[in-house]
């Protein structure tokens, strides 16, 4: 097992590498499923450490480290994609140090730091492998934002007899230097809403000769609002986020249909399924009451289950991270309503998804994720590396 002194010394040696690597990746983002240069860069860094690489999907891959003695198998995961959006040159307090060089692509969710922290952790674990037991599989997952890489990753990992999966997400809503390994639901499940309310179009002067889908859509909205209050378990959190309603082209033309889209978020899988089915049921009857029919689009589906931390892994991590992190670094953090493909790793084995704080008002790194002003405090990265290496050392050698 690695001593705290060994970990802290080794982490200090890679800190600048992690910062520079994150900077390079931030300036060269690639959106989900198109991370070709990103993947090539990561593979070059991995190959320089002598680790064998196994391609998983178009751009995703794994690398395997065999430690000195046999033992358990631990997977360490990072996502690699950016978002399809532009980036502001400024954060919440001034000009950013690194700006995307690619139009309409931006690391505004922190995946650049995830890759950099995992590479930094990899350098340390490779260097100190003779003090460790077991096998470490480093997972670089394609397309987390769209979910295009997770299923192939699971297919490959299902053959590796993995005992646990560790993942991290940098957060701007937690202070730099803080870490959360709380048990239970950590990120929300999500379902997509996409429906068309179908009427019969006509001239605006004779609405009696048409079936106006606007009234059907209005009734759907009101009925869903009522159902959410009266039919969703008040002990469970399920948010209904209806985001768009579109229909019609002119003031004197009654359209044939109106579309409604949005999402729901939830932390209890069964309550989420119940809510999703409730939307279909209520919307169908509400539309019918206005003589309309309804069509649910093929992409209206449960897109992700909640990300739920294994209680034993959470307790284990809290115990051992408290031995190396400064006092007060480990905090309890409220659940995050965003969703993550990491939830799917739990079909393989126990999982732990860790929040690493990077919010610092002085450097302007407090903007929401997926915001053009999103930025990170570089001083947060070392905490992620220390936590990863410490957890890996303790998990593999106990």
Q: What is the 3-state secondary structure (H, E, C) of 80-94?
A: CCEECCCCCCECCCC
Q: Which residues of the chain have pLDDT under 50?
A: none
The pairing of beta strand 164-175 with beta strand 351-359: parallel
Cα dist from 88 to 95, 106, 174, whole Å:
9, 10, 22
Distance of alpha carbon 2 from the chain centroid: 30
Distance of alpha carbon 235 from the chain centroid: 25
H/E element holding 169? strand 164-175
Strand pairing partners for 262?
Answer: 193, 242
The pairing of beta strand 293-296 with beta strand 189-198: antiparallel
pLDDT of residue 240: 97
Q: Would you say 67 and 129 are in contact if contact means Cβ atoms under 8 Å apart?
A: yes
H/E element holding 192? strand 189-198
H/E element holding 397? helix 381-397
What the block records as the tokens of 315 is: 């307790």
pLDDT of residue 333: 98
The pairing of beta strand 302-304 with beta strand 179-180: unpaired
Cα dist from 302 to 106, 138, 271, 273, whole Å:
26, 28, 12, 8
Delineate the domains of the chain, giving CATH numbers in brackets. 4-187+306-397 (3.40.630.10), 189-303 (3.30.70.360)
Q: Which residues contact 263 (CB under 8 A, 6 or more apart)?
A: 190, 191, 192, 193, 241, 243
pLDDT of residue 397: 93
Mean pLDDT over each residue of the chain, to the nearest integer: 97
pTM of the model: 0.93
Quick: pLDDT tens for 159-218. Answer: 999 999 999 999 999 999 999 999 999 999 999 999 999 999 999 999 999 999 999 999
pLDDT of residue 398: 84
Quick: pLDDT tens for 37-75. Answer: 999 999 999 999 999 999 999 999 999 999 999 999 999
pLDDT of residue 1: 85
Q: Would you say 276 and 305 are in contact if contact means Cβ atoms under 8 Å apart?
A: no
pLDDT of residue 359: 98
pLDDT of residue 24: 98
Quick: pLDDT tens for 306-315. Answer: 999 999 999 9
Contacts 24+ apart (CB under 8 A), 20-23: 21/45, 21/115, 21/116, 21/119, 21/120, 22/98, 22/112, 22/113, 22/115, 22/116, 22/117, 22/376, 22/378, 22/381, 23/97, 23/98
């Amino acid at each position: 097992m690695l001593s705290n002194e060994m970990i802290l010394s080794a982490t200090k040696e890679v800190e600048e590498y992690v910062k520079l690597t994150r900077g390079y990746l931030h300036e060269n983002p690639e959106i989900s499923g198109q991370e070709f240069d990103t993947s090539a860069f990561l593979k070059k860094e991995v190959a320089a450490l002598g680790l064998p690489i196994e391609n998983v999907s178009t751009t995703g891959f794994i690398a395997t480290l065999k430690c000195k003695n046999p033992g358990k198998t631990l997977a360490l995961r990072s996502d690699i994609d950016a978002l399809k959006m532009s980036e502001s040159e400024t954060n919440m307090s001034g000009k950013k140090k690194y700006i995307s060089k690619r139009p309409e692509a931006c690391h505004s969710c922190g995946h650049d730091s995830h890759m950099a922290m995992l590479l930094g952790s990899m350098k340390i674990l490779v260097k100190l492998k003779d003090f460790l037991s077991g096998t470490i599989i480093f997972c670089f997952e394609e397309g987390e934002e769209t979910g295009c890489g997770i299923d192939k990753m699971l297919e490959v990992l299902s053959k590796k007899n993995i005992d646990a999966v560790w993942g991290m997400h940098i957060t701007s809503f937690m202070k730099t230097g803080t870490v959360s390994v709380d048990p239970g639901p950590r990120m929300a499940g999500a379902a997509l809403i996409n429906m068309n309310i179908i009427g019969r179009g006509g001239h605006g002067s004779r609405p009696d000769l048409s079936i106006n889908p606007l009234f059907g859509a209005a009734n759907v909205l009101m009925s869903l609002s009522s159902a959410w209050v009266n039919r969703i378990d008040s002990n469970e959190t399920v948010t209904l986020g209806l985001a768009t309603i579109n229909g019609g082209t002119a003031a004197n033309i009654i359209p044939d249909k109106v579309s409604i889209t949005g999402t729901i978020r939830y932390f209890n899988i069964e309550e989420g399924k119940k809510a999703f089915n409730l939307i279909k049921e209520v919307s169908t009857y509400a539309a019918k009451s206005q003589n309309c029919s309804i069509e649910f689009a093929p992409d209206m589906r449960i897109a992700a289950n909640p990300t739920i931390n294994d209680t034993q892994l959470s307790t284990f991590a809290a115990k051992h991270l408290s031995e190396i992190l400064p006092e007060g670094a480990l905090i309890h953090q409220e659940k995050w309503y965003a969703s993550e493909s990491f939830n799917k790793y739990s079909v393989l084995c126990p999982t732990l998804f860790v929040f690493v704080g990077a919010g610092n008002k002085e450097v302007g790194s407090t903007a929401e994720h997926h915001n053009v002003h999103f930025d990170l405090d570089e001083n947060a990265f070392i905490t992620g590396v220390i936590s990863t290496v410490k957890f890996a050392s303790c998990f593999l050698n106990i």
